[in-house]
Structure formats: structure tokens, C-alpha cells
Amino acid sequence: MVENYRITARFDGSADDNLKAAGFSRSMITRLRKELGLIRVVSDTCPSGQAVFATAKVRKGDILKISLPVSPVAYPASNISPEFAYIDDDIAVVVKPSGIATVPIKSHYKDSYASVLASAWGEFVYRPVGRLDKDTSGLLIVARSSLAASRMHDMQNNGAIGKQYTALVQGIIPESGEIDAPLALSQDGHHREVSENGKPAKTLFRRIGIINENSLAEFTLLSGRTHQIRVHSAYIGHPVCGDALYNPRAKEFPRLMLHCSRLCFAHPFTGDNVTVESPFPPTY
């Protein structure tokens, strides 16, 4: 399988510098350097493209024809069908159920979300952008090409993907507020904890309802630390309901009551604003 792209050189310089400017990752460019013919310069006299190496000089406005070999994987197909909240040729936003791992690590190779997508897509290259904890449900971006993945990962690393979560938390949380507390890995190597030696972490919250003396709240991350909402909400005395790691009363609920409910980002190719929402009505 080969992915094909046409890139217009933005400036005089090397082909690989122009590819970096177009959003190709370092690993993608390294792969393109290994074989002559994967990068071609298209012209009126050579419409099929003249093969060049990545280090070749190109001029602003040159059209680069890129052929990137990829290897689809035959993940074990799940009996669960994927739920798409948004999909086009470049990206998909799916609604991941609670209890399914985002990535096919060794302990979840046969039951990750890759297998859910395999039930619809067959053999494919799985490119999730970020991840949700196994027991967290909600919106997850999956890139459908190498270049889309590269651009979306850059956006995520630069904080250009807005995420909002909805959670049912124990007790009556204040109407709104900000939690500014650094997070670190605890000594057991599994939990996270608030620590002055941790990495900066900020979370905004807003109460949107009260259900059976618990609060339904929206959380917005101003940083992206592992378990951030779960640790921060427990830190202020309102742990997420059903949280087996941070809530002693977790067994009162059938699942972790945390859901990624809203994503906002610029489309990696068109630049159009994309907003995707998935409501989370807690039932128990």
C-alpha cells in the first residue's frame, strides 16, 4: 500500500526542508530518504515527476509528488461496530466505549479500539491521536493517513486541540473554579498524585447539574497530564464516580463516569474549524 501526496514547495531549498514545513514528521522524511523515486519533482516536461533524493534542491512553487509506502495491519476484528461522530478522507472522530483500551498493547492486543475499527475497515494502519484511558469513554481522533497523523500530533503537542470532558463527581462541587496543582507519578508507579515536584497541571471546571447528590461537571484541560481530571477532582474532595484508582466508593457505580464530550481543532488540510460533540448522560 502506498500513500500519495502532492506538495507545493514553499521556498527555495532542499526537498526535505519543504516537507518538514508541510508537516511531514522526521520519521516520515527518514523513510523517504531511503529510496530514490519516493520523491519526484513534477514539471510540464516530466508530468510523472523526476526522481530526486530528499536532499535535492527545489524552487518555490515546485510540485513534489510523494509516495510513502505503508504496511496495513490485520488486527483481530471485534464484534463491536465503531461509532463515528465525524469522518472524512483524512480523519475520523470515534466515540470510544468505556472498558476498551485505546491502543493494542500486549495485554489488550485483541480487544483494543484498533480491533473495533478493524471490524469496519479490515486491514489498516491505526493512527490514534492521543489516547483515552481504558475506562474513560468519549471522543477520540484517528488519523487516516501518515501526513494527517503528523499534522494532528503537532497540533496536539502545541495545545491546538481543545478538549472538554464531562464527569459525574462525588458530592456537590462548586459552581466553577480552577485547579492548579502539579502532578507526579507516585511511588507505586501506577497512581498519579499532587506533588510540588510534579509537572504543572491546570484544570477548569463548571458544574452543570446535580444528580442524586452528585455533580455533573464539565472539565477543560489547560495541560495534558495522565489522569489529570481524576487526580485533580479527588484532590479537591470530589473524586470521579466509579474511579477505582482514586475513589474509595468506586464500586457504587458500574464504570468510570468520565467522558470526552467535545473536541475543537482546525482541520489538518483545509484549516476549517471542526467541533465534534458527544453527550454523556450518566446512567446507574
Lateral strand order in the sheet of 63-69: 2-8, 63-69, 39-42, 50-52
- Cite the DSSP H helix spans in the chain: 15-21, 26-32, 113-121, 146-157, 228-235
Distances (CA, A) of 191 to 88, 195, 220, 246, 283: 37, 12, 21, 8, 27
Q: Which of 17, 62, 133, 243 is catalytic?
A: 133
Cell of 246: 482514586
Q: Is 33 exposed, middle or buried (0-12, 13-18, 19+ CB in 10 A)?
A: middle
Percent of the chain that is helix, strand, coil (3-state, to 5): 15, 35, 45
Active site residue 133: yes
- For the annotated catalytic residues, the residue numbers are 133
